């Protein structure tokens, strides 16, 4: 066979191999692009599952007390020799994750579940504790609100209601710790409580503080912004400076474990919201123009989505009082 034929054959093979590599590369880029596009539509929990990562976080505040974060309001738990205490329950699936993690840490029973208020992202996970927890405690108004919401949404079969309620205060001693519950009045709802672990100097505030995140102000459940501001000042005065405070929600880049400074900053946000709204009403600004507001003067740390919830609630409250 001539050298010319070998050269032609070699050239042909080289071209074929090059074209194959190009096609494979194009296919790889196409498939990678499609994969990345698909991943962008997945939830954090689904992505975490695909990557074999936990969709939740646990942070221990001391040897016995920790916080659980996944979705919804922050869960706090305390391990003791007599049993476990849990504050808030998020959703059924995330509550189950929390239960499973607690069971890895202790074989003791669940003694007590406390609901800081009735909202579904704090109480719909109660059902995961059915046949596990001995008692569920909440404020009287919280039970009423939870019951009303379940009846309205036809979800009573998915509820596990508190079986212990109180009006002003309630406490329980458990293995060297005293857990005290306090009701200061209407704020985020008309049933918000503060949960104080006295020896540990840890306080769960529920949704009484949204750390650099626009709050949900539930006027349908008796929320009162003016009173809310006064309550935050009372809380800052009542508890020691060394106290670790836990809030229900925080904005991106901010923590759910907060200080008195953060509490007072949120109080300042509520005050600025009311001041701005009152000035808008006095200037005869239309509600339509008022709702175009994108930031509250004096509170630049509160940004992103959700400002309309604050504006609507403040407008309704001040209009009611006029």
Per-residue pLDDT for 67 more than 80? yes
pLDDT (mean) for 93-99: 98
What is the biggest distance separating any 2 CA atoms in the chain, rounded to whole angstroms?
A: 104
Lowest mean per-residue pLDDT among 24-28, 82-86, 113-117: 24-28
pLDDT computed for residue 54 by the predictor: 80
Q: Are 207 and 216 in contact (CB under 8 A)?
A: yes
Partnered with residue 59 across adjacent β-strands are 67
Structural domain spans, the chain: 47-276
The contacts of residue 106 (CB under 8 Å, 6+ apart) are 79, 84
Q: What is the pTM of this model?
A: 0.84
pLDDT computed for residue 53 by the predictor: 67
The contacts of residue 50 (CB under 8 Å, 6+ apart) are 39, 42
Q: How many angstroms separate the CA atoms of 159 and 269, rounded?
A: 34
Cα distance from N-terminal residue to C-terminal residue, the chain: 104
pLDDT tens, position by position, 268-298 = 999 999 999 999 999 999 999 999 999 999 9
pLDDT computed for residue 64 by the predictor: 96
Q: How many angstroms separate the CA atoms of 40 and 35, rounded?
A: 9
Partnered with residue 75 across adjacent β-strands are 68
The CATH homologous superfamily to which domain 47-276 belongs is Ribonuclease Z/Hydroxyacylglutathione hydrolase-like (3.60.15.10)
To the nearest 5 percent, what fractions of the chain are helix, strand and coil?
A: 45, 20, 35
């Amino acid at each position: 066979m001539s050298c010319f034929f070998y050269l032609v054959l070699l050239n042909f093979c080289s071209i074929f191999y090059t074209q194959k590599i190009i096609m494979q590369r194009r296919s790889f880029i196409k498939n990678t692009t499609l994969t990345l596009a698909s991943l962008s539509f997945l939830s954090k929990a689904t992505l975490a599952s695909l990557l074999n990562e936990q969709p939740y976080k646990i942070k221990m505040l001391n040897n016995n007390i920790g916080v659980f974060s996944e979705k919804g309001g922050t869960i706090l738990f305390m391990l003791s020799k007599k049993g476990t205490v849990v504050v808030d329950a998020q959703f059924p699936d995330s509550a189950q994750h929390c239960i499973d993690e607690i069971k890895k840490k202790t074989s003791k029973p669940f003694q007590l579940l406390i609901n800081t208020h009735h909202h579904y992202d704090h109480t719909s996970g109660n059902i995961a504790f059915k046949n596990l927890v001995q008692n569920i405690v909440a404020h009287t108004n919280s039970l009423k609100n939870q019951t009303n919401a379940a009846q309205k949404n036809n979800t009573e079969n998915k509820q596990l209601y508190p079986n212990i309620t109180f009006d002003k205060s309630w406490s329980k001693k458990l293995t060297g710790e005293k857990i005290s519950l306090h009701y200061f009045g209407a704020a985020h709802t008309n049933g918000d409580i503060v949960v104080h672990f006295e020896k540990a100097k840890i306080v769960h505030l529920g949704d009484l503080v949204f750390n650099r995140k626009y709050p949900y102000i539930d006027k349908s459940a008796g929320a009162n912004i003016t009173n809310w501001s006064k309550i935050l000042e009372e809380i800052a005065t009542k508890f020691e400076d060394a106290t670790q405070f836990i809030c229900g929600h925080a904005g991106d880049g901010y923590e759910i474990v907060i200080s008195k400074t953060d509490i007072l900053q949120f109080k300042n946000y509520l005050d600025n919201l009311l001041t701005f709204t009152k000035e808008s009403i006095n200037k005869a600004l239309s509600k339509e123009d008022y709702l175009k507001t994108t930031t509250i003067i004096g509170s630049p740390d509160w940004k992103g989505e959700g400002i309309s919830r604050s504006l609507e609630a403040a407008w309704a409250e001040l209009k009611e009082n006029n």
